[in-house]
Chains A and B, each alone.
Chain A
Amino acid sequence: MNLLYSADEESLRDSLRALLRSRSWSPDDGFDPDVWRLLTAELGVTGLIIPEKLGGAGATLREAALVMEELGRFLAPVPYLGCAVMATVALRVTGDTQILTRIADGSACAALAVPFAGPLPPVSVVDGALTGRVQSVADAMVADTLLVPASDGGLWEVAADGPGVVRVPVVSLDVTRPLVDLTFDGAPGRPIGPADRAVAAAFTAGSALLASEQLGVAEWCLDTTVDYAKTRLQFGRPIGSFQAVKHRLADVWVSVTQSRAVARYAAGAVSGPDDDLGGTEQRLAAALAQSHCGPAAVRAAEECVQLHGGIGFTWEHPAHLYLKRAKTTSIALGTAPAHRHALATLLTLDAAALTEPS
């Protein structure tokens, strides 16, 4: 599999960086509607993986992974993962066309009504309407369409501001990707297809692509810390000239270098047809990506705070935002230990399964 970046991907990266560099946002915003609009209208990346006949760009998840990388690097407060990756993949799997067409033209923003840390029992269907609670959902505050896995096995389309839906913002560890608690109390909706395959595919694609976001976060942390270590003087010399500091940064560079290979592999692995997203290799690549890239981003962010010393511990310096993003993503869509367990199962190395009498 090609683990490098293509010329088209590098050019997309340049456009994204130019756009993101020209913007500034307050981390407290949680959402920057202008950036979201520019990503849709100017670059068309919110519809990147939507088929061309529905108004999208018809690209693969590999290209979307590159977008994730840059959004992670800039910590851009937009619901790209929730809407343009996970909800979009779920909708592609159900065969929906209506909502996808609206996401592609920028008139809709959808979110899966599933906890960011991983799926829980679905919302109940009572008398043809939805009732139940889903906590800590990402990218749902700004969504107008919620995709709700329900107890009848269906994935339901529910208007986010419709009757019977209450959204309460959560004080999130990562303020740049705010979470919301959802309550459905007899909320009307429309089943659009079976939920299981759609949600599983969305989580596999999401896990694989989250690795690219984690790569972008880790790269920012490494670059920023290296720059600081070159200019910060103590004991009459740049702190980056001390081996105690440079060896730690060398280790971060190694793990970031590995993250790049792993994230590219994962993005490539999930870039085939949607029917393959439930495949062993696809799930393995996604679990590998989250087992490696999540902890690698956390480590890069922790070293960023530590090697910046006092200034890294302040609210004023952005290091804490990357720390919170890194830790949040390492738990989101399953923790690293959970993904390692999934890997053991996929590789037929799980001790419990091996010792079962056959």
Chain B
Amino acid sequence: MPDVRALARAFRENTPAGDSADFLRKRFDAGLAWVHYPEGLGGLGAARSQQAIVEEELAGTPSNDPRRIGIGLGMAAPTILRHGTDAQKQRFLRPLWTGEELWCQLFSEPGAGSDLAGLATRAVRDGDGWRITGQKVWTSMAHHARWAILLARTDPELPKHRGLTYFVCDMTAPGVDVRPLRQLTGEAEFNEVFLTDVFLPDDLRLGAVGEGWAVARTTLMNERVSIGGGATPRGGGLIGVLTDLWKTDPGVRSAAAQDEMMRLWVAAEAARLTGERVRQQLAAGEPGPEGSAVKLAFAELAQKITGLELELRGADGLRHDDWTMRRGELVDFEGRSPTYRWLRAKGTSIEGGTSEILRNIIAERVLGLPAEPRTDTTVPWRELPR
């Protein structure tokens, strides 16, 4: 096993931190990007838990905003690593990790939300490549992204899960049209992406033709892990915003509100410890299904905490800061106004799998309960009511 700490220490001593992009490229080449990835692909083939040592040793050196590169890091990278060709891994992983190429996700469609496998975007063979036509929605970062992970239908005559193929979409290709989509917060954090006869060479296909659903499951499982959030200290995050208000504004305090706040504090701490336990399981090489519990709990908590905050503020909770349409690219629960927080939190139980779908997944995959009887999985996709 490599001595990760020694390698990180030596790297830090020998690498000038002048140019940020250059530093990150060198860090990738030294295998200190994600140590559990293979050598030559930014890693050392070490245990995932060793990454913490690298972060500790390289604290204060140039780094990327995880929110900007999150989709690439959390979803595209693990999918490429697992299902990509050697050439694809060599081409995509380095600039993905350094943040020189941003990624977005072209999965959801107006007609395919929870029922993602029912999507209608078509990919049709054209010589040594594919022509893509369709409409995607809820695409964060699409207006900045160089690449997208794309799920499209290659065979409408097969049942819906079997006719899908997974691609990497070139966001600069002709026919890709990105338009802002305004949400109930007033901002356009997401986009609609219209794909009209977009040509993608076959070497941008990820996995075999017709295997798109299996590849997408790798992406989706990693999305839920990343949406569940990283480590926060006790009392941090949204519950910290609430308790700070409580401590500083005597006007919001009452005995009844205190018990309600403490219920949420307990729920937040229980969810935080559960996340911590999930990370320990991962580090010990025993990944479990508990990540779904973290995502589900986080969504509900964000809504309850921000709702209570508005109530505590009373009359002040009736005022919003600004409805001007703008490009709100990075979700910022703590830095923005209380009404923004409350509104934005409504999305937490919808994005990355609705809470209802997550409950189905927990019930069927974790608890082993029987699936609902379904009529849509055996007939050709073309024949389904849409």
Which residues of A are interface residues toward B (Cβ below 8 A)? 2-4, 226, 229-230, 237-238, 240-243, 245-247, 249-251, 253-254, 257-262, 264-265, 288, 291-292, 337, 340-341, 343-344, 347-352, 354-355
Is B77 on the interface with A (CB-CB < 8 A)? no
Chain B residues closer than 8 Å to A3, beta-carbon distance: 273, 276-277, 280
Known A340-B259, A349-B262; further 17 A-B contacts with Cβ < 8 A: A3-B280, A4-B284, A237-B370, A240-B370, A241-B369, A243-B372, A246-B367, A246-B369, A250-B363, A251-B359, A253-B363, A258-B274, A261-B274, A261-B276, A292-B266, A292-B269, A350-B258
Please tell me if the beta carbons of A241 and B373 are within 8 angstroms of each other in the complex.
Answer: yes
Q: Contacting chain A: which of B1-9, B142-150, B248-256, B330-338? A: B248-256
Given known pairs A288-B266, A354-B253, A355-B253, the reply for A250 and B277 (CB within 8 Å) is: no
Tally inter-chain residue pairs, CB-CB below 8 A. 136
Q: B-side binding surface: helix, strand, loop or mixed?
A: helix
Q: B350-371 toward A: CB 8 Å interface, digit per residue (1/0)? A: 0000001011101110111111
Rounded to whole Å, the gap between the CB of B249 and the closest CB of chain A is: 10
Write the chain A residue with the least CB distance to B288: A257
Please tell me if the beta carbons of A261 and B277 are within 8 angstroms of each other in the complex.
Answer: yes
Please tell me if the beta carbons of B362 and A337 are within 8 angstroms of each other in the complex.
Answer: no
Rounded to whole Å, the gap between the CB of A230 and the closest CB of chain B is: 6
Please tell me if the beta carbons of A246 and B270 are within 8 angstroms of each other in the complex.
Answer: no
A254 to B267, CA, bound (A): 12
A206 to B163, CA, bound (A): 57
Please tell me if the beta carbons of B297 and A258 are within 8 angstroms of each other in the complex.
Answer: yes
Is B265 on the interface with A (CB-CB < 8 A)? yes
A253 to B370, CA, bound (A): 16
Please tell me if the beta carbons of B277 and A253 are within 8 angstroms of each other in the complex.
Answer: no
A240 to B368, CA, bound (A): 9
Write the chain A residue with the least CB distance to B256: A351
**Contact check: which of A241, A337, A347 meets B235 at CB < 8 Å?**
A347
Is B119 on the interface with A (CB-CB < 8 A)? no
Please tell me if the beta carbons of B255 and A351 are within 8 angstroms of each other in the complex.
Answer: yes
**Contact check: which of A249, A260, A337, A344 meets B363 at CB < 8 Å?**
A249
Please tell me if the beta carbons of A344 and B262 are within 8 angstroms of each other in the complex.
Answer: yes
Rounded to whole Å, the gap between the CB of B354 and the closest CB of chain A is: 12
* Interchain residue pairs with CB less than 8 A apart (9): A229-B369, A249-B369, A259-B270, A288-B269, A291-B266, A340-B262, A343-B265, A347-B243, A351-B254
**Contact check: which of A4, A337, A344, A348 meets B277 at CB < 8 Å?**
A4
Which residues of B are interface residues toward A (Cβ below 8 A)? 235, 243, 246-247, 250, 253-255, 258-259, 261-263, 265-267, 269-271, 273-274, 276-277, 280-281, 284, 286, 290, 292-293, 296-297, 356, 358-360, 362-364, 366-373
Chain B residues closer than 8 Å to A351, beta-carbon distance: 253-255, 258
Given known pairs A3-B280, A254-B293, the reply for A247 and B370 (CB within 8 Å) is: no
Most buried by B among A246, A251, A264, A337: A246
Chain B residues closer than 8 Å to A249, beta-carbon distance: 363, 367, 369
Given known pairs A243-B360, A247-B363, the reply for A265 and B273 (CB within 8 Å) is: yes
Write the chain B residue with the least CB distance to A225: B367
Please tell me if the beta carbons of B273 and A261 are within 8 angstroms of each other in the complex.
Answer: yes
Rounded to whole Å, the gap between the CB of B344 and the closest CB of chain A is: 23
Chain A residues closer than 8 Å to B269, beta-carbon distance: 262, 288, 292
Please tell me if the beta carbons of B271 and A258 are within 8 angstroms of each other in the complex.
Answer: yes
Chain A residues closer than 8 Å to B253, beta-carbon distance: 351, 354-355
Most buried by B among A238, A250, A340: A250
Chain A residues closer than 8 Å to B262, beta-carbon distance: 291, 340-341, 343-344, 349
Chain A residues closer than 8 Å to B266, beta-carbon distance: 288, 291-292, 340, 343
Write the chain B residue with the least CB distance to A352: B255
Write the chain B residue with the least CB distance to A260: B277
Chain B residues closer than 8 Å to A340, beta-carbon distance: 259, 262-263, 266
A350 to B265, CA, bound (A): 13
A253 to B369, CA, bound (A): 12
**Contact check: which of A246, A253, A254 meets B360 at CB < 8 Å?**
A246
Closest 9 CB pairs of A and B: A246-B363, A250-B359, A240-B369, A340-B262, A250-B362, A261-B273, A351-B253, A241-B370, A261-B277
Please tell me if the beta carbons of B271 and A240 are within 8 angstroms of each other in the complex.
Answer: no
Chain A residues closer than 8 Å to B265, beta-carbon distance: 343, 347, 349
Chain B residues closer than 8 Å to A352, beta-carbon distance: 255
Chain A residues closer than 8 Å to B356, beta-carbon distance: 243, 247
